[in-house]
Amino acid sequence: MIDRREAAHLMIAAARGHLPGCRPYYFTSANGDVIAQTRANAETAGLFREADQIFADGQPLVFASRLLCGVHLPERVATTDLFHDVAKLAEREGTTFYLLGSTEAENRNAVAGMKARYPGLRIVGNSHGYLAGETLERKLHEINALAPDILWLGLGVPREQIFVRDFASRLSNVGVIKTSGG
């Protein structure tokens, strides 16, 4: 049970500790919608069980832990906040990012916003998430060749978990894949 600050440090440490040639660490998040989806769909539940780390991205999960569990979640670890925590650390430590997901315009705007807010942050690449066939194959090769410490994957649940299942083993030079929602 870790808080946001610890989660950010864990992501940086996992990225640094990744052994080249091995599958990237897979970090994801769960909220009420994810709990409902995993309860309704066994395949989606299995995709989440494959994660190396699941953060509680929702206050209801924190509240439920206080009512139902012996060990309580200290706080929610929302990806929208965690991204900035990790970016601040990454800017200081030279950790590299690749942003994959959303539309071309949204992705470009997100990268521009991050460069403006964190001028020392090393974003080694980015792409929209609507890729298939040969275009996807080339993008996987590009990402692996760029070897980002952290690949932020914004495709929405369960599309991003399916991406991890299908392609993580081909991204052996990536340290961490962190799903980021839609």
Where residue 137 sits, what CATH number does that domain have?
Answer: 3.40.50
Selection from 175, 171, 134, 155 nearest residue 47 by Cα = 155
Range of the domain at 83: 4-179
* Token pair listed for 15: 């990225």
Helix-, strand-, coil-residue percentages of the chain, each rounded to 5? 55, 15, 30
Mean pLDDT in residue range 103-108? 96
**Cβ atoms 8, 86 nearer than 8 A:** yes
**Cβ atoms 124, 96 nearer than 8 A:** yes
Does the reported pTM lie above 0.85?
yes
Give the chain's domain count. Answer: 1
What's the confidence (pLDDT) of residue 66? Answer: 93
What's the confidence (pLDDT) of residue 20? Answer: 86
What's the confidence (pLDDT) of residue 182? Answer: 72
